[in-house]
Amino acid sequence: MSEDLSGIPTDELIQNMHDDLYDGVVDGVAAGTNELLRRGLTPSEVMNQALVGGMDIVGVDFRDGILFVPEVLMAAKAMKSGMEILRPLLANTGAEQIGTMIIGTVKGDIHDIGKNLVAMMMEGAGFKVVNLGINCDADKFLEAYREHQPEILGMSALLTTTMPYMDTVIKRFKEEGLRDKVIVLVGGAPLNAAFAEEIEADAYCRDAAVAVETAKKLIAIRRGH
């Protein structure tokens, strides 16, 4: 999709980007992202409609055994090319710094697209974000807590087999006497509010926008306003 995109209707362009994401065409996704921004779509609209929408289709065919890991990795690479273009736009809203968040994908799990999206949106909302990456064990979260003294600890898990590790992290924070000092937000496709409650996280966040809202709300409550 390196041709002139200006004549393609927006709906069709988004559809083409879904196809390019599905096929792992990095340049096509990057070019489409730039073109949608040029047309005046907001960075969030481009992210949700073109990128997340495309990855949802990949997810369905991955689940159904139509796509396999190598193809999904290519799709992830294409998605990241679009996210890189959006990152500075989402992260530079000039918002006043509200607080600090550490965030990581838990041990055993290497999915990082959603977690990175949450990190970007939190930065855009005025948080300092320390992104700990993937496969984070409890020690890594604890070390980062001690170094950065964040108000928010965010954890992401995309696998039903790794989500229980969030409980391990929270228990370690309790053992170290640190649990009450930090707001714990959790997210990822297999989670829900009941799970968050069960492991005594402060909240489950369905998506990045909810993570931002919830973080702001819980910080305000904690600060007493």
Residues that bind ligand B1M (CB under 6 A): 52, 55, 58-59, 62-63, 69, 72-73, 76, 103, 108-115, 117-118, 154-156, 158-160, 185-190, 205, 207-208, 211
Q: Which is nearer to ligand B1M, 36 or 132 (CB)?
A: 132
Residue 93 phi, psi dihedral angles, 5° rounding:
-90, 0
What is the rounded radius of gyration, in angstroms, for the C-alpha atoms of the chain?
A: 18
Q: Measured from the CB atom, is 8 or 72 closer to ligand B1M?
A: 72
The CB-of-3 to ligand B1M minimum distance in angstroms stands at 27
Mode of pairing for the β-strands spanning 127-136 and 203-205: unpaired
Tell me how far apart the alpha carbons of residues 88 and 128 are, in angstroms, rounded to a whole number: 14
Distance of CA 116 to the CA centre of its chain: 4
Q: How far is the CB of 178 from ligand B1M (least distance, A)?
A: 17
Strand ranges for the chain from DSSP E:
99-106, 127-136, 152-156, 183-187, 203-205
CB of 24 to ligand B1M, least distance (A): 11
CB of 223 to ligand B1M, least distance (A): 19
CB of 118 to ligand B1M, least distance (A): 5
Question: What distance in Å separates the CA atoms of residue 85 and residue 47, rounded to the nearest whole number?
Answer: 10
CB of residue 200 to ligand B1M, shortest distance in Å: 15
Other C-beta atoms lying within 10 Å of the C-beta of residue 65: 7
Minimum CB distance to ligand B1M smaller for 28 or for 154: 154
Provide the token pair at 48. 């949700």
Contact of 152 with 99, CB cutoff 8 Å: yes
Nearer to ligand B1M, 58 or 125 (CB): 58
Minimum CB distance to ligand B1M smaller for 15 or for 108: 108
Q: Residue 35 or residue 109: which is nearer to ligand B1M going by CB?
A: 109
